[in-house]
């Protein structure tokens, strides 16, 4: 039976409503009409926590991995909970999941085909999801504790490291400390699941600590925040040691993460700059603004204000650069903002905004044309 026919069948016996409708809409997307692992047509199974649609054969391999790694459900026979459907919808289907789980699939590693042996399928599927051999290294989690159950777990320590110590010793990166993540509790937990779990975790790096309630939303920001605080703690020892490796005429570039809050809401970067100045470095700030952001006058003003906040915070010689120009299809859209005219900006702002913003618009346009 084709996918379309099956849906007609479902529709005739049981109306597709609410969340079930979302699952149906996801299923009929072209990438979900073939098995995520072997490419067999018309998959009728799915891994709810990983977010992929699977054929019967691959579904069997997934089931053997255990529900803590892959929660296998029949699309047509099982009752789906709302959270299982949400998980599937959030991942967005086979293409997106494979872009993560097969990001580093070696060229000589052939994906299984529908007629591959069970042994080969098992080997590749285990490597893909259990040991995550093809996952982007920065997304890998190595688990110190073994997860026994998805529901009975109360507190588990996970040792998180984007690169192993061995990797670090082989290149120029420095091991600055071990980030510990304590998982306090969570929902939909599955070992190594980066996409659908919703844990409450506590991060500690040295004496610093940060709490994170929503892994997928806040962890990166919290980690960066924790890391810059750790860097600040290390300025007088570890960081100074690093600086000794450079000569007077060396140029150093400190590439900062794109979280503007780190530079406007906390004084870490300011302290970092002051530290460099005390070491008699000439410091200059280069602010990169995504040129796609400069698509109309209000976004342009907003970008300028963000850059201005960094300038005020750091009080350094300051260069603004529009980045990613290659992604702009019509360069003329950006050109008019390169040398802005206060009157032109003001008339554009006034056209887009309510009359009572007139006075503010005038101040902003004059300020931006001076920057």
For Zn ion, the binding residues (CB under 5 A) are 35, 37-38, 40, 55, 58
In the complex, minimum distance from the CB of residue 83 to Zn ion, in angstroms, rounded to a whole number: 25
The token duo for 295 is 């698509």
Integer Cα distance of 92 and 95 in angstroms: 8
Nearer to Zn ion, 38 or 289 (CB): 38
> Which residue matches tokens 């300038």?
311
Q: Is 17 buried (19+), middle (13-18) or exposed (0-12) by CB count in 10 A? A: exposed
In the complex, minimum distance from the CB of residue 316 to Zn ion, in angstroms, rounded to a whole number: 56
Nearer to Zn ion, 75 or 345 (CB): 75
Nearer to Zn ion, 46 or 55 (CB): 55
Nearer to Zn ion, 124 or 190 (CB): 124
Nearer to Zn ion, 58 or 349 (CB): 58
Nearer to Zn ion, 63 or 362 (CB): 63
In the complex, minimum distance from the CB of residue 39 to Zn ion, in angstroms, rounded to a whole number: 7
| Longest Cα separation, the chain | 78
In the complex, minimum distance from the CB of residue 27 to Zn ion, in angstroms, rounded to a whole number: 15
Nearer to Zn ion, 62 or 275 (CB): 62
Helical ranges in the chain per DSSP H: 3-13, 18-27, 56-65, 82-91, 94-101, 118-125, 165-170, 215-233, 240-243, 260-264, 268-278, 297-314, 332-335, 342-352, 358-370
Integer Cα distance of 337 and 345 in angstroms: 9
The distance in angstroms from the start CA to the end CA of the chain is: 65
| Residues 89, 51 contacting (CB under 8 angstroms) | no
Integer Cα distance of 21 and 11 in angstroms: 10
- Give a three-class secondary structure readout of 125-138: HHHHHHCCCCCCHH
In the complex, minimum distance from the CB of residue 54 to Zn ion, in angstroms, rounded to a whole number: 6
Name the nearest CA neighbour of 233 among 264, 265, 275, 181: 275
> Which residue matches tokens 């042994």?
119
The token duo for 57 is 């054969």
In the complex, minimum distance from the CB of residue 55 to Zn ion, in angstroms, rounded to a whole number: 3
Give SS3 for 45: strand
In the complex, minimum distance from the CB of residue 31 to Zn ion, in angstroms, rounded to a whole number: 14
In the complex, minimum distance from the CB of residue 107 to Zn ion, in angstroms, rounded to a whole number: 21
Nearer to Zn ion, 45 or 147 (CB): 45
């Amino acid at each position: 039976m084709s996918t379309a026919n099956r849906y007609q069948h479902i529709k005739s016996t049981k109306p597709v409503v609410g969340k079930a409708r979302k699952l149906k809409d996801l299923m009929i997307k072209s990438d979900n009409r073939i098995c995520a692992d072997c490419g067999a047509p018309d998959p009728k199974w799915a891994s709810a926590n990983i977010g992929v649609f699977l054929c019967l054969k691959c579904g069997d391999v997934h089931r053997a991995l255990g529900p803590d790694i892959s929660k296998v459900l029949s699309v047509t026979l099982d009752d789906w909970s709302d959270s299982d459907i949400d998980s599937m919808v959030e991942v967005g289907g086979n293409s997106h999941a494979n872009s993560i789980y097969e990001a580093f699939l070696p060229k000589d590693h052939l994906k299984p085909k529908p007629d591959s042996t069970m042994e080969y399928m098992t080997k590749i599927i285990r490597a893909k999801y259990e040991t995550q051999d093809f996952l982007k290294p920065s997304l890998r989690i190595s688990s110190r504790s073994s997860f026994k159950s998805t529901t009975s777990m109360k507190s588990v320590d996970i040792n998180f490291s984007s690169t192993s110590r061995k990797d670090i010793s082989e290149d120029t990166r420095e091991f600055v400390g071990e980030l510990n993540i304590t998982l306090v509790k969570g929902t939909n937990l599955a070992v190594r699941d980066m996409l659908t779990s919703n844990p409450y975790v506590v991060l500690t790096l040295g004496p610093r600590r940060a709490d994170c309630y929503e892994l997928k939303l806040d962890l990166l920001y919290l980690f960066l925040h924790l890391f810059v605080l750790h860097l600040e703690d290390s300025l007088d020892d570890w960081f100074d040691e690093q600086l000794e490796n450079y000569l007077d005429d060396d140029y150093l570039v400190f590439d900062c993460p794109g979280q503007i809050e780190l530079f406007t809401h906390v004084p870490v970067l300011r302290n970092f700059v002051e530290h460099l100045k005390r070491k008699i470095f000439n410091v200059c700030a280069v602010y990169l603004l995504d040129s796609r952001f400069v698509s109309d006058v209000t976004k342009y003003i907003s970008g300028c204000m963000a850059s201005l906040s960094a300038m005020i915070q750091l009080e350094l010689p300051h260069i603004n650069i529009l980045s990613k120009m290659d992604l702009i299809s019509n360069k003329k859209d950006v050109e008019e903002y390169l040398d802005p005219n206060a009157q032109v900006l003001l008339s554009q702002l006034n056209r887009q905004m309510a009359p009572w913003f007139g006075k503010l618009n005038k101040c902003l346009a004059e300020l931006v044309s001076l920057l």
